[in-house]
Structure 1
Amino acid sequence: MSLEKGRLSSRQLIVLALFVFVGDMALIYPLTMVADSHQDAWIAGLISLPLGLAGILIPLKVHYFYPQMNLIEKINKILGKWVGTAVCLFYLFFFLIATSIYIREIEDFMCTQIFEKTPGAVFRFMTLFLVIYGLRLGLETLARAAEIFLPLFILFFASLMILLLPQIQLENLFPIMHTPLPKLLHSVLFGISYPFGEMIVFLMVHPYVKKSKHTNRDIFLILIIGAAVLNLILFLSITVLGAYLPEHQFYAAYILAQKINIGNFLQRIEALMAIVWVITTFFKTALYFYAFTLGSAQLFNLKSFRSLIFPVGFLVFGLSQLVSKDIVFYMKKIPSTWVDWDFTVSFVIPLLLIIVYYVRKSKIRTSSG
């Protein structure tokens, strides 16, 4: 019996996919890419696009094994009770920590860039309150809210990009291909694992989408658009700010928006970038929160996942404080290790699930034959 009664349209799915894909990456993507490949980061971003799209086929293949089941149900079905439970707990832990990190990212950004004297707990509470309220209303309501915010996202982002065009200095891209190949490939791994890998959360949502023959096409199209958005931010960060500042500044994209100055009249509109980032990160946080609560309820055979929303909210409130000592620790430690976790849960384990599925299927055919 499904614990989720709401149903999403294909349009709602792709809007959520765009917000999750861009999400927190809108601000921190330049840092993660420039760290190793410097001014060649835009090349790594372009290489990661087709590879990331190819990688998405792996979890998508897992989805088609049992399209009526979400990720937790599929794992138990394929791996069996004991091994399946262990892998499910691993995924639930990933969803929980990811939720806590996204909450902490919003807190750190607001406290260091906008409201410097406001206690971080205020922003943690406000964000969690909205997430909990949204999930109590249901997944479908959350998706409808995302549709409302989509035009705002497009308007603000397009305005920022257009207004930054006069600031571009193409000489910041040189020398081209100066980065050693191993470091360039490491940046490519970041470009694949971070934005593309974190789409694994949609295996918890996909079964509750109304069927459409164009759904997969639309998903790939929105991933291409999302990747274009992130790589455009990366390109502008390098060409406007140079390679050094994005490498050492966590919120390079926010500083990028501060550079807008049209005739000494239209300036200091970085709040638009902040709004875009908070909107996308909020919906990403909400979906990961949803994945953890729904998956936990299914794993432990609860009648409803909504009874877990408030307790999990308290848990996330505390964990978001514990995941990182401060923003400096976050910058130096979390991105370099998180990429491995993303790659594992998004590509390695799904690939193993595919192998186990076909091995078990072949054994059943052999025994029946």
Structure 2
Amino acid sequence: MQKISAYQLFTITFIFQLGTTIIFGFGGTAGREAWIAELISCSLGVILILIFTALMRMNPGLSLVEWFPAQLGRWIGTPIAFLYPLLFLYTVGRVVADIRDMVSTTILNNTPLLLITGLFVIIIAYCVYGGALIIARLGEIFFPIVILIFSIEIILLFSSGVMHIRNIQPVMEHGFRPIWNVVYPAGITQPFGETLALAMIWPLSKTPSKVMKITILSTLLSGIMIACLDIFVISVFGGVFSRFLYPLYTLLSLISVGKFIENLQMFGVLYFLMTALLKGAIYMYAALKGVQQLTKLKSYHALMIPGCIIAWLLGMTMSKNIAEHIYYHHFKILVPYVWVPLFIILPTVLLLVAWFRQFKK
């Protein structure tokens, strides 16, 4: 059985949590207080992580979809567990749609969408076919690149003179409500609630005792990084940054050092492609592995082709444009009616059931 190291688990968790948030920005509706909303979301996200890892410890050696039958019985637990692979596969389709919209509106305007999304799904399939170890090695490669690009961005932004700290003020001009509206439910569930998908990989860790510490550390690091990116964007654009669909991409277009280092939007696209690829691969692996475990198949490889075709079709057809994709499907439907029950309510209920069963014993 393939086993992944503590460092590999840290890198894939960190990049998974950055995901598409790094390019879409976080908490635009909170205006200048978006960075505060991110820090609060991260703090509450740590509590969710503690719930997830507590369930892992109470179900040693079992993956996410095996927790429910183990605690609730086969007839109740199995149907509930099936909801998670379905959600993960749907989310791969959302990532494909993100790539479809981002790449086609920024760098490849005239490239057929079929080619963009098809190539992306093929790359995901190649990574997933190799198993969790290949995905973990991909995280090892991407992590230093993401940190290096982030460091270069900070240096170039300060050198360009486009950042003004006064744009961050006044703080909490409209009170706490706009901040909380960002924090719950969307801020907590994305990306921190989504970390539950990694519970399909946690049993493969070489050091299960360190999973909680590693996941919390990566959660704090990703939360701080997203908050810093919000601060950078706000210090340049002020509260109007919420009007930008891709604030990081727009921010990088303003970098100009000596009229020599300019037009660095490609950094933003590179960020997005790396984090989206790893996130899509993890979700696809979690979906296929979940179905395999619930149906007692010998291998998930037989599910690769139908799974990738479904994800590609979802990505191409789930929305007509980026506005419908994000503001309607995501915030109006997915977050309140799917993510909250599956990422917050069901794990909490399952933890209470597991505690009660242990107490009875």
| TM-score above 0.5, yes or no | yes
What corresponds to 2:25 in structure 1? 29
- Quote the residue 1:183 is aligned against: 178
Change (3 A) 1:293 1:212: closer
CA distance in 2, matches of 1:316, 1:207: 25
Give the aligned partner of residue 108 of structure 1.
Answer: 101
CA drift of 1:329 comes to 0.8
Query: Paired residues, what number?
Result: 356
Is 159-168 or 298-307 further displaced after alignment?
Answer: 159-168
Residue in 2 that maps onto 1:355: 352
Residue 309 of structure 1, CA deviation: 0.8
The whole-number CA distance in structure 2 between the counterparts of 1:250 and 1:132 is 29
1:10 aligns with 2:3: no
Equivalent in the alignment of 2:224: 228
Q: Is the 8 A contact 1:135 1:290 kept in 2?
A: yes
C-alpha separation in 2, matches of 1:299 and 1:161: 46
Q: Say which SS state the counterpart of residue 11 (structure 1) adopts.
A: helix
TM-score scaled to structure 1, two decimals?
0.92
Amino acid of the residue matched to residue 346 of structure 1? F
Paired residue type of 2:307:
V
| 1:54 Cα offset (Å) | 2.0
The answer to whether the 8 Å contact 1:38/1:179 transfers is: no
Shift, 1:47, TM fit: 2.1
Q: Map residues 1-369 of structure 1 onto 2, 5 A cutoff.
A: 5-30=1-26, 33-35=27-29, 37-165=30-158, 166-189=161-184, 190-211=186-207, 213-244=209-240, 246-337=241-332, 338-340=334-336, 341-363=338-360, 365=361
Question: Which has the higher mean CA deviation after the structures are superposed, 134-143 or 178-187?
Answer: 178-187
Distance, in Å, in 2 between the alignment partners of 1:81 and 1:10 is 32
Alignment check: 8 A CA contact 1:39 1:242 kept: yes
Hey, what's the Cα distance between the residues in 1 that align with 2:208 and 2:132? 19
Contact 1:42/1:231 (8 A) holds in 2: yes
SS of aligned partner of 1:242: helix
Q: Distance in 2 between matches of 1:201 and 1:319?
A: 19
For 1:282-310, what per-residue CA distance to the aligned partner results, in whole angstroms no more than 9, with x for missing partners?
Answer: 00100000010000111112111111111
Q: Give the whole-Å Cα distance in 1 for the aligned partners of 2:56 and 2:33.
A: 35
* Paired residue type of 1:252: P
Larger mean Cα displacement after TM superposition, 194-203 or 144-153? 144-153
After superposition, the Cα gap between the structure-2 partners of 1:215 and 1:354, relative to the gap in structure 1 and judged at 3 Å, is: closer
RMSD: 1.6
Question: One-letter code of the match for 2:24?
Answer: I
Q: TM-score, normalised by structure 2?
A: 0.94
2:52 and 2:268 map into 1 onto residues whose CA distance is: 31
How much does 1:218 deviate? 2.7
Counterpart Cα distance in 2 of 1:45 and 1:23:
15
CA contact (8 A) 2:135 2:282 kept: no
CA distance in 2: counterparts of 1:360 and 1:334, whole angstroms: 38
Return the offset for 1:214: 4.1
Q: Displacement, 1:277?
A: 1.5
Do the aligned partners of residues 213 and 203 (structure 1) sit closer, same or farther apart at CA in structure 2, a change above 3 Å counting?
Answer: closer
Separation of aligned partners in 1, 2:297 and 2:97: 29
Deviations 1:145-170 (A, max 9, x none): 22122222111121112211232112
How far 1:358 sits from its partner (Å)?
A: 2.5
Take 2:330 and 2:247, find their aligned partners in 1: how far apart are those partners? 15
Runs of 5+ consecutive residues of structure 2 not aligned to the other structure = none
Deviates more, 1:118-127 or 1:144-153: 144-153
After superposition, what is the alpha-carbon deviation per residue over 1:193-244, rounded to whole angstroms, capped at 9, x for unaligned?
2121111111110001101654432322221111111111111111112221
Query: In structure 1, what residue type is equivalent to 2:203?
Result: P
Counterpart contact for 2:13–2:218, Cα < 8 Å: yes
Amino acid at match of 2:229: I
CA distance in structure 1 between the partners assigned to 2:35 and 2:344 by the alignment: 23
Give % identity. Answer: 26
2:127–2:134 contact (8 Å) kept in structure 1: yes
The separation in 2 between residues aligned to 1:187 and 1:264, in whole angstroms, is 38
- CA drift at 1:311: 1.3
Matched residue type, 1:199: T
AA at the equivalent of 1:106: I
Please give the alpha-carbon distance, in whole angstroms, between the structure 2 residues aligned to 1:198 and 1:214. 20
**Matched letter for residue 34 of structure 1:** G
Superposed displacement of residue 24, structure 1: 0.8
Q: Secondary structure at the match of 2:41?
A: helix
The answer to whether the Cα contact below 8 Å between 1:157 and 1:276 also exists between their aligned partners in 2 is: no
